[in-house]
Amino acid sequence: MKDLKPRQIVTELDKYIIGQKDAKKSVAIALRNRWRRRQLDNDLQEEIAPKNIILIGPTGVGKTEIARRLANLANSPFYKVEASKFTEVGYVGRDVESMIRDIVELTVNNLRARQQEAVQEKAAGIAEERILDILLPPSSQTGASISNDLDIIATEQGEEDPKPTASTREKLRKMLRSGKLDSRQVDLEVADKSSPMVEIFSNTGIEEMGINVKDMLGNLMPKNTKRRKVKIKDAIKLLTQEEAAHLVDMDQVKTEAVNMVEQSGIIFIDEIDKIAGKEKSQGPEVSKEGVQRDLLPIVEGSSVPTKYGTVKTDHILFIASGAFHVSKPSDLIPELQGRFPIRVELTSLGAHEFTRILTEPKNALILQYIALLRTEGIEIEFTNDAIEKIASIAEEVNSSTENIGARRLHTIMEKLLEDILFAAPDIEEKNIVIDASFVKKQLTDIVENEDLTRYIL
């Protein structure tokens, strides 16, 4: 983060997201401020709260993508959740604290996988020794018979007679590493991954009961294992995974995960406009304001119990987004508005932005289709006028029907190339040029017929 300046953050985001300079600038400042806070004295660190952001704009303009790419840049714990999934306390559904439990769970899994990857070499060495122990048990009688068996295999494989001084175990190791024993089968004790007989279901998570029931039962009951015959090649992989899991210090992983979430976690709350607005009726249905009131202490800063320990949410960065077609940000309860001091309005996309989206990003849509058809041996080329025509149609359809932003390009591209994608394995002509006339021929009839446009594009 020290080398990731706000200007560089915006440059990195430009590789994937077209336009929306104001939104990129705001999130770049928020990310840099997190690094700045960590350079201060501990007392002052605690006083500086993150400046949460609300991104306002229609669907498909890059709100979610900005947050996701930002988290990847900072290598921070990131979790996306829809506000409309939550219900207030007392109703069946997900409570707002579940987002904290989920981001911690996700971070623990990622850290565990990363640490297992780091000890793969050591785990592979231990797995090799375990395989050798299976192939060559300590019993001298069995060892002698295995040794004779190995001599026979070595002869069959065309090897020279082993040296008298070489130990049987080293001969076995040499053959194991060369792959000559890959097809042989061994008996291996593996964990039985079948479902347990007792399952406990809870809407709000077992950790809220103050004790992890699954872990408690797991400690009391013997672990299920079953004996399987597997090829040595597969046995090495299984044992390497098992040993890598044993080598990871899970206590350290849990502590580090909780600290990462507390200090650099980013939670993206989508569709926040769906819980804004005045109540239309006084019935007993779930209250939108009730969800906002439950959300407030999480965003404000509170302690949430999880099975990995208590997580303080004071310094988690919350980025909310919504289209706000029906409601307005001012319809949120005042306390929640105050916790999202930065508001950025994202602009709708036009033909010019669509043209850039089709060609400029590293994962541009046209490059994706070129790569997909290249697997069939077909080289497809889009002319500039074809790209401009596609962008123009996308803008036209968005203005005449619902505005779904850049997502309209996916619909149009799929419809445009439908026949080619279907017949690709049988097409003899391997070089295809897509020009404006081809685009017009494929799409004009649908665009001009408004009823068809609503259902197809």
> Which residue numbers belong to the known binding site for ATP?
18, 60-65, 270, 335, 407
Strands 342-345 and 317-322, how do they pair? unpaired
What's the full length of the chain, in residues? Answer: 457
| Contact indicator for 333, 293 with CB cutoff of 8 Å | yes
Other beta carbons within 10 angstroms of residue 10's beta carbon come to: 17
What's CA 369's distance to the chain center, in Å?
Answer: 23
| Contact indicator for 9, 28 with CB cutoff of 8 Å | yes
Strands 303-306 and 317-322, how do they pair? unpaired
Cβ partners under 8 Å of residue 8, min gap 6: none
Tokens representing 189? 């004790």
DSSP-H helix ranges across 222-300: 232-247, 250-264, 288-300
Tokens representing 371? 């790569």
Element (H, E) at 395: helix 384-400
DSSP-H helix ranges across 15-166: 21-38, 42-47, 63-74, 98-118, 120-135, 140-156
| Contact indicator for 311, 260 with CB cutoff of 8 Å | no
d(CA 357, CA 353): 6
| Contact indicator for 330, 337 with CB cutoff of 8 Å | yes
| Contact indicator for 226, 190 with CB cutoff of 8 Å | yes
Phi, psi values for residue 315, rounded to 5°: -115, 15
How far, CA to CA in Å, does 150 sit from each of 123, 128, 142, 250, 336? 26, 17, 12, 40, 73
Binding site, annotated residues: 18, 60-65, 270, 335, 407
* Closest to 77 measured CA to CA, from 35, 34, 106: 106
| Contact indicator for 367, 387 with CB cutoff of 8 Å | no
d(CA 371, CA 169): 49
Q: 């600290």: which residue's tokens?
A: 259
DSSP 8-state code for residue 86? B
Tokens representing 455? 């259902």
Is the sign of the CA dihedral 63, 68, 69, 71 positive or negative?
Answer: positive
